[in-house]
């Protein structure tokens, strides 16, 4: 395994236990870390990115222990944090140049070539001389990936990159991530299930600082095969259902309510069986009834 996370725990000074003995094994390719807000995703990402220390446990990237080898790890790391503060007055190309200098790319023509490549790769070439303050949310995130890719990172950490993007921008961002390549570890944290569905071959679900599931999306989906049931109901009658059935989600469609229910067998003749999706798996896991999947 390329990235090994062993027994990480972290308690903040205010007493919040953000990580409780987290262990994960992560191979090359895109890994999705899925969990609700407050689950501990950013804390875990910051520890891997050398920006914060855990209280106990270790992280190894390709055999290098992270906490005691921060400079070495930083050389092969790309990081897009959740809150990426950018000086609104600076032009995109100017700031990329600055980041490239900080990353140690001292040769001017080499730097220029790299920056041009990154601007093209992230579809920002036409906006290279625009100030960052004029960028849309999606452009800012693509710029964030451009800076994270400087220096050819072997480990790319992207923290909640699609939060706040509109569907078109999210799509462009997904395409960009999917083109980065399978030979490095890309760790993507998100609370949006579709990010993982679209992009990740491997995933973990974390909640309340603990790993609830670690494996392939297909594993978790297979385990729910035949156990997801659906019914259209009148929305005023939802209370009758929530008392009787294990409701995973409800969705309004054409003024009617569509309920998705977990049940080993048919809950009632009025329900139809349907294909599980990752959102079913996520809610099932998070709601604490999924102990057989860990
Ligand atoms: P996520 O990224 O999944 O939303 P975080 O890692 O940001 O989760 O937070 C996990 C928990 O730790 C939350 O309860 C959060 O309020 C708390 N937390 C995060 N950062 C700090 C901090 N610097 N000081 C105190 N508590 C924090």
Nearest Cα residue to atom 25 of ligand 1: 12
Secondary structure (3-state) at 99: helix
Residue 106's CB: how many other CB atoms inside 10 A? 9
pLDDT at 5: 98
Q: What is the mean pLDDT of each run of 10 residues along the chain (294 residues)?
A: 96 98 96 96 96 97 97 94 86 94 92 95 94 93 93 94 89 90 92 92 96 95 96 85 88 88 94 96 79 35
DSSP H helices, 66-106, are 70-75, 92-102
User: Which pLDDT does position 294 carry in this prediction?
Assistant: 34
Helix axes of 108-121 and 92-102: crossing angle, nearest 10 degrees: 130
Rg (CA), the chain: 21
Task: Write down the pLDDT at residue 288.
Answer: 56
The ligand 1 atom at the shortest distance from the C-alpha of residue 39 is 3
CB distance 29 to ligand 1 below 6 Å: no
Whole-angstrom Cα distance, residue 4 to residue 24? Answer: 6
Q: Is 232 in contact with 261 (CB distance < 8 Å)?
A: no
User: 11 CA distance to ligand 1 centroid (A)?
Assistant: 10
Tokens of 161: 């990159």
Domains of the chain: 3-214 (3.40.50.300), 222-293 (no CATH)
Amino acid 293: pLDDT: 35
Give yes or no for residue 107 CB within 6 A of ligand 1.
Answer: no
Beta carbons of 212 and 55 less than 8 angstroms apart: no
Ligand 1 mutation pick, 13, 38, 162, max ligand atoms within 8 A of CB: 38
For residue 78, what pLDDT is reported?
Answer: 95
Count other Cβ atoms within 10 Å, centred on residue 45.
Answer: 23
Structure-block tokens of residue 223: 């385990």
Residue 140 contacts residue 84 (beta carbons within 8 Å): yes
Q: Rounded to the nearest 10 degrees, how much is the dihedral formed by the CA atoms of 213, 215, 217, 223?
A: -70
CA of 16 to the centre of ligand 1 (A): 8
Gap between the Cα atoms of 141 and 162, Å rounded: 8
pLDDT at site 291: 36
For residue 100, the model assigns a pLDDT of 94
Q: Are 83 and 45 in contact (CB under 8 A)?
A: no
Of all atoms in ligand 1, which is nearest to the CA of residue 36?
3
């Amino acid at each position: 395994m390329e990235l090994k996370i062993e027994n990480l725990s972290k308690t903040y000074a205010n007493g919040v236990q953000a990580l409780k003995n987290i262990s994960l094994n992560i191979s090359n390719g895109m890994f999705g870390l899925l969990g609700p807000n407050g689950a501990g995703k950013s804390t875990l990402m910051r520890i891997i990115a050398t920006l914060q220390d855990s209280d106990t446990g270790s992280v190894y990237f390709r055999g290098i222990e992270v906490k005691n080898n921060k400079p070495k790890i930083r050389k092969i790391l790309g990081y897009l944090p959740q809150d990426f503060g950018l000086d609104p007055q600076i032009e995109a190309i100017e700031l990329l140049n600055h980041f490239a200098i900080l990353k140690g790319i001292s040769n001017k023509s080499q730097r220029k070539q790299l920056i041009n490549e990154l601007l093209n790769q992230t579809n920002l070439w036409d906006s290279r001389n625009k100030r960052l303050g004029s960028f849309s949310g999606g452009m800012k995130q693509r710029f964030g990936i451009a800076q994270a890719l400087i220096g050819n990172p072997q480990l790319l950490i992207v923290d909640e990159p699609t939060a706040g993007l509109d569907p078109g921008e999210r799509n462009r961002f997904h395409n960009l991530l999917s083109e980065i390549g399978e030979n490095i570890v890309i760790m993507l944290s998100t609370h949006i299930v579709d990010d993982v569905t679209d992009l990740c071959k491997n995933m973990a679900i974390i909640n309340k600082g603990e790993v609830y599931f670690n494996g392939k999306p297909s594993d978790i989906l297979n385990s729910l095969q035949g156990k997801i049931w659906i019914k259209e109901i009148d929305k005023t009658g939802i209370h009758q259902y929530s008392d009787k059935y294990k409701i995973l989600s409800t969705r309004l469609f054409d003024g009617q309510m569509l309920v998705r229910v977990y049940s080993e067998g048919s809950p009632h003749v009025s329900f139809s069986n349907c294909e599980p999706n990752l959102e079913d798996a996520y809610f099932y896991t998070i709601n604490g009834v999924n102990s057989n999947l860990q």
